[in-house]
């Protein structure tokens, strides 16, 4: 019976600043995966990038984080072949996974995996490229500027010329609200820029909107499913890292109260956004609704959304009647389906 189970290689950890969030998400995925159908194989990537096969006991007792292992690299086929993985499930957030690098490795190895393909992962992770594609598709997104480190002396003048305060300053290719600051006046600018450049060589500056924060879950390849919208009500001034993962005081409304017109518009925009980045597998799509005018903006797309117990992606599907275990199963099926069609 054990041999008939599908071996799912759960990849987690990683070198990015979102390492710890990956550990929380993985605990939840491991807890909920259907262990009658699937045999989870835990593969930990430490902060230096070395891969280690972790036993169930080490994982459940948190004995893997600070231990020294006989680590391997993914191209050492004698080890990866021994694991005999049927499909990989990346539960890593941020650079070196969500940006398509890991997906490229799996594609070169001709291995099925869960989630978006390498190209779509890369363009969704880059907030600048994705916003350019949103605009090209006719989608409304907040006004923005972007800069590399060599441009930093121009930032102040360009904000005054193009955006005006308040603005949000973000690393271009990072998630989980890491490195994000809201800047209300010029005096706050330098420290916010320094924080963002700690995490990325390119930063994006967006016009701040007095908005409700709306999220939608999407999954599928050719025929996609779109959830009803949910709303975040941040405890802090905006939904930052501390609010998400430390304080945990943000409130969620699922479903949120919106007019039928807005619900229809969000669903239409979500489908168009998913298609504009050539996505497959799954995504969480974030929107803003301006509080006074009810103007709708698309903010960004997350191709490996959080899988914690409090994350919106599984919560939105739970409201649709798809529990965590069934959700994981569906995502694995989409991964196999996409791989077959690509071959």
Instruction: Collapse the DSSP code of 121 into the 3-class scheme (helix H, G, I; strand E, B; otherwise coil) and give the result.
Output: helix
Of 3.30.70.600, 3.30.930.10, 3.40.50.1000, 3.40.50.20, which CATH number belongs to 2-114? 3.40.50.20
- Read off the pTM: 0.88
- Give the pLDDT score at 295: 96
- Give the pLDDT score at 261: 94
Instruction: Collapse the DSSP code of 190 into the 3-class scheme (helix H, G, I; strand E, B; otherwise coil) and give the result.
Output: helix
Closest CA to 313 of 330, 296, 298: 330
Per the document, the length of the chain is 343
**Interatomic CA distance for residues 343 and 340, integer angstroms:** 5
Q: What is the pLDDT along the chain (343 residues), one digit of tens a residue?
A: 456 899 999 999 998 888 898 999 999 999 999 999 999 999 999 888 888 888 999 998 887 777 666 666 776 656 667 788 999 999 998 888 899 999 999 999 899 999 999 999 999 999 999 999 999 999 999 999 999 888 777 888 888 888 889 999 999 887 657 789 999 998 898 899 999 998 888 999 999 999 999 999 999 999 999 999 999 987 655 545 555 555 456 788 999 999 999 999 999 999 999 999 999 999 999 999 999 999 999 999 999 999 998 899 999 999 999 999 999 999 999 999 999 999 8
DSSP, residue by residue, 276-331: HTT--EEEEEEEEEETTT--EEEEEEESS---STT-HHHHHHHHTT--HHHHHHHH
Domains 2-114 and 144-207 share a fold: no
CATH topology of domain 124-141+209-342: D-amino Acid Aminotransferase; Chain A, domain 1 (3.30.470)
- Give the pLDDT score at 1: 46
Structure tokens at 4: 């008939």
- Give the pLDDT score at 234: 76
> Phi, psi at residue 132, to the nearest 5°?
-65, -40
Distances, alpha carbon 204 to alpha carbons 10, 130, 181, 314, 327, in Å: 32, 12, 11, 28, 33
8-state DSSP, 115: S
For domain 144-207, give the CATH number: 3.30.1490.20
- Give the pLDDT score at 26: 96
Domain ranges of the chain: 2-114, 124-141+209-342, 144-207
């Amino acid at each position: 019976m054990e041999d008939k189970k599908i071996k799912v290689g759960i990849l987690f950890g990683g070198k990015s600043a979102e390492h710890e969030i990956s550990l929380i998400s993985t605990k939840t995925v491991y807890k909920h995966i259907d262990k009658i159908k699937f045999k989870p194989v835990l593969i930990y990537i430490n902060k230096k990038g070395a891969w280690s096969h972790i036993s169930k006991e080490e994982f459940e007792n948190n004995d893997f984080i600070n231990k020294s292992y006989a680590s391997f690299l993914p191209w050492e086929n004698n080890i990866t072949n021994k694991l005999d993985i049927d499909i990989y499930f990346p539960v890593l957030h941020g650079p070196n996974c969500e940006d398509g690098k890991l997906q490229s490795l799996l594609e070169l190895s001709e291995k099925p995996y869960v989630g978006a393909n390498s190209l779509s992962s890369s363009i969704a992770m880059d907030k600048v490229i994705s916003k350019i594609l949103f605009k090209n598709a006719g989608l409304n997104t907040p006004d923005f500027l972007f800069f590399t480190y060599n441009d930093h002396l121009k930032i102040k003048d360009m904000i005054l010329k193009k955006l005006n305060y308040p603005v949000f300053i973000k690393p271009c290719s990072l998630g989980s609200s890491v490195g994000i600051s809201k800047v209300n006046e010029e005096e706050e600018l330098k420290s916010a820029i320094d924080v963002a450049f700690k995490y990325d060589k390119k930063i994006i500056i967006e016009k701040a909107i007095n908005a409700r924060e709306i999220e939608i879950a999407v999954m599928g390849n050719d025929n996609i499913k779109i959830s009803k919208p949910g709303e975040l009500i941040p405890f802090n001034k905006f939904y930052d890292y501390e609010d998400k993962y430390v304080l945990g005081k943000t409130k969620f409304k699922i479903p949120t109260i919106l007019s039928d017109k807005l619900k229809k518009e969000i669903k239409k925009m979500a489908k168009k956004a998913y298609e504009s980045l050539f996505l497959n597998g799954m995504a969480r799509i974030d929107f803003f609704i301006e509080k006074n005018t009810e103007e709708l903006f698309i903010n960004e797309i997350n191709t490996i959304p959080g899988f914690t117990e409090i994350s919106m992606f599984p919560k939105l599907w739970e409201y649709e009647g798809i529990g965590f275990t069934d959700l994981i199963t569906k995502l694995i099926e989409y991964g196999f389906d996409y791989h077959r069609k690509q071959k």
